[in-house]
Amino acid sequence: MPEPRHSTAVSPTALYTGAVWARHRLSHPAFATTEGRLMYAAGAPAMRLSRALGGPTLEGLLLARHRVIDEQLHAAIKAGTVSQVIEIAAGLSPRGWRFARQYGERIRYIEADLPAMAARKRMLLARVGCADGPHHRVADIDAFAVGGDASLAGIAATLDPGSGTAVITEGLINYFPIAAVGALWQRIANTLNGFPNGLYLSDLHVGGENRDIAVRAFVRLLSVFVRGRVHLHFGAPAEAEAELRAAGFATASLLSPADFADRFRACRDPAARLVRVIGATTAARR
Ligand SMILES: C[S@@+](CC[C@H](N)C(=O)[O-])C[C@H]1O[C@@H](n2cnc3c(N)ncnc32)[C@H](O)[C@@H]1O
């Protein structure tokens, strides 16, 4: 299990992403905190320069992964295979708020994060009129806990075992070493195997696709910011797919957001080639 101190050091990154989602009108303006806006402003000149030189932008990367995860989740809900969602490390992401507004009583959406971030999200949601309810709530979790109420298994036990369920991790996996990630994927597959249909969605930066010197420099900078290493796992997407199947998923694909360029403008950013979206399913049960 990773050191708890490292987990909490990752939390400020959610303030930055919160500002990005709000800036692109994916979110309620209340989810853009003052700290997040300041971080966004500090990074803006570098983003503008990279964009002007035809390079990747962090904003493009975040939006590309977010759009593709959204699209996969919409498709599963519309196909009727998923009606419950646990979003681990939800931070200040607007996805739970948006999906709860769109699907109402047709889904149950649980946004989960470390206690301090969960409390902040609960407070922001209450401020925009979305107090915890049976179809949308915020829960405390430590993604690496192996049991108890604030573990994935503990939260899943509060859901309907007869309904298809999705687990999402966005912006989490690359902050942790491979052993912790492998164990987390096993727990997610195990949990989802308890439902008739299980879907896992996540972003993943594959080491072999992020060898560029500028990317490596950026990863080092981010490592300093989160006071711990940012990890680039796997030499190629096929290795990650094999690891997911070994963890207990029946199918696993690493989608490239760049392939969604005709649908989403953000997926035309060169950064869309630096990130993958995992779509993994457990075997369907009757
Ligand atoms: C980069 S942010 C991503 C937030 C959100 N998913 C998004 O894309 O805007 C990382 C999030 O991971 C959360 N986190 C870090 N360690 C965690 C852990 N052990 N369990 C659950 N969440 C964790 C942080 O609190 C933070 O909200």
Do residues 203 and 69 touch, judged by C-beta distance below 8 A? yes
Going from the Cα of 91 to the center of ligand 1, the distance in angstroms, rounded, reads 5
pLDDT for position 210: 81
pLDDT for position 7: 75
The residue to mutate among 15, 23, 97, 113, having the most atoms of ligand 1 within 8 angstroms of its beta carbon, is: 113
Our CA angle for 141, 147, 150, nearest 5°, is 20
pLDDT for position 221: 73
Structural domain span for residue 31: 4-282
The number of the ligand 1 atom at minimal distance from the alpha carbon of 62 is 8
What distances in angstroms separate CA 143 from CA 32, 35, 190, one per listed residue?
24, 25, 14
SS3 177: coil
Using CA atoms, how far apart are residues 174 and 80, in angstroms rounded to an integer?
31
pLDDT for position 222: 74
Residue 78, Cβ density class (10 Å: 0-12 exposed, 13-18 middle, ≥19 buried):
exposed
**CATH number of the domain that residue 130 is part of:** 3.40.50.150
Q: Which residue has the tokens 């999705």?
A: 166
Query: What is the token pair recorded at 69?
Result: 């995860």
Q: Ligand 1 pocket: which residues have CB below 6 Å? A: 7, 10-11, 13-14, 17, 88-91, 93, 113-114, 117, 141-144, 170-172
Q: Which residue, judged by its Cα, is nearest atom 7 of ligand 1?
A: 93
Using CA atoms, how far apart are residues 247 and 104, in angstroms rounded to an integer?
33
pLDDT for position 286: 67
pLDDT less than 70: residues of the chain: 1, 5, 225-227, 286
pLDDT for position 151: 98
Domain count for the chain, please give it: 1
Q: Is the dihedral of CA 27, 29, 33, 34 positive or negative?
A: positive
> Residue 38 phi/psi, 5° resolution?
-65, -45
The residue to mutate among 1, 3, 5, 13, having the most atoms of ligand 1 within 8 angstroms of its beta carbon, is: 13
pLDDT for position 27: 92
